[in-house]
Amino acid sequence: MESLPAFKFCFRNAVRLGLAIHRSRPSQTIRRFSVRGEELVIENGSPSGAGPKAASRLHANPLPDGAESGEAAQPNRQPLPAHKPCRDRRLQTPSHRRWKLPAHGPPAREEEFWNLRNDDFKEKRQPRPGPLPVGRTEGSEILFGIAPCSLALARSKRDFFRLFLKSGSASTRPVMEEFSRQAEARGVPVQLAPRKVLDALCTGGVHQGVCLEATPLRPISWQEGSSHEAEGAAPAAREGSQLLWLALEGIQDPMNLGAVLRSAHFLGVDGIVMSQRNSCPLTPVVSKASAGAMEVLDVFGTDRLQSFLQAKSEQGWEIIGTVGHSTALDDVPTESCLDFRWTRPTVLLLGNEGYGLSPETRRLCRRMLSIFPGRELQPGIESLNVSVAAGILLHSICSQKMKAP
């Protein structure tokens, strides 16, 4: 009677671990497995009839009482070889859930069977925590990328604290040596840092091995720059030259803002003003997206864009808005950008990525320009990205200036 509980305990463990204990020969264990209805016998320490992946999915199939096992009684059957313990904690059974056989029972082989199932899994190393980034000056930001950092050093519109260059063989490249010379000429300390530190400084941005710690770049207040702009524009206006300003209202994506600034600088826009309300600030991401054009351009900012447009209209400038080809406005005429003729100083307005220009700004426009598609479009893709539209609109206008005699 005392051996009955021990037998039940051992039998439950044998079922859980894939062991079958034959009653007539308690000292010998026979392992049989079934994979998708096919019986599989472990012979000489390796399964026959299935690959390593199938062995990892084996489940126990104990023999019934009194079943004949002629194959298991053959003398060439050997016990499973001992394997190295599995180091992956996610694949191991917690210690408090493992069943242990009593000392007087058959030898426990649950560890061997567990290793047999997990041998095919490669050990996954946990990622080591990267080095902590270096300390930063309070109120500073990190520019990253070759073009933004190079143009920022060249224009010196910011205050600089440190220049970080990637350590290793990359620090000996000619471009890195040029960065070191520019920094030393301006008294900026140069620090070599591993790639992981640079990744942490720019929060995963494409730094190209260069990061620059500097003060933020903010738009110039329109009230502060209006006198300077008037002095610069007066001689050109007296000569009858064409002037083009770009006004941005509510552009929130830094990638879009950077691409617009890059196109405006490339195509020769005379000035840029942006609304500071509900707009993206001039961040390092904008500088990177503009390929450093943000460091070169004088970007003006105002909280009252409508007041700026009214002042320009009183000075004889034409206020031109933009709208999608499917949007019809009753109070403002709309025409294709290809039909527009640039005959006097103009302010071109670009609105938010989603809803475009605000109603207050639309009422100040004399006409609207639109880009008409070349085919019938499906709903949802009937418009262009604001940066792409800016490039097309600016080129259609500035090309007239380039062709003028």
Per-residue pLDDT of the chain (405 residues; tens, 9 = 90+): 556 777 777 667 666 655 444 444 444 444 444 444 444 444 444 444 444 444 444 444 444 444 444 444 444 555 555 555 555 555 555 555 555 545 445 445 455 444 544 444 455 555 555 545 577 888 899 999 999 999 999 999 999 999 999 987 665 688 888 999 999 999 999 999 999 999 989 888 899 999 999 999 999 988 765 555 544 444 444 344 689 999 999 999 999 999 999 999 999 999 999 999 889 999 999 999 999 999 999 999 999 999 999 999 999 999 999 998 777 676 788 889 999 999 899 999 999 988 899 999 999 999 999 998 888 888 878 788 999 999 999 999 999 875 544
Q: Is 213 exposed, middle or buried (0-12, 13-18, 19+ CB in 10 A)?
A: buried
User: Which amino acid makes up residue 291?
Assistant: A
Q: Return the pLDDT at 354.
A: 87
CA 331 to centroid of chain Cα atoms:
43
SS3 call for 193: strand
Q: How many CB atoms lie within 10 A of CB 191?
A: 14
Q: Return the pLDDT at 324.
A: 85
Q: Return the pLDDT at 60.
A: 42
Q: Return the pLDDT at 402.
A: 55
Task: Give the HSE-up count for residue 399: Cα atoms under 13 Å, Cβ half-sphere.
Answer: 10
Q: Return the pLDDT at 63.
A: 43
d(CA 181, CA 191): 13
d(CA 295, CA 155): 7
Cross-strand pairs, 273 = 247, 300
In which residue are the tokens 């670009």 written?
Answer: 350
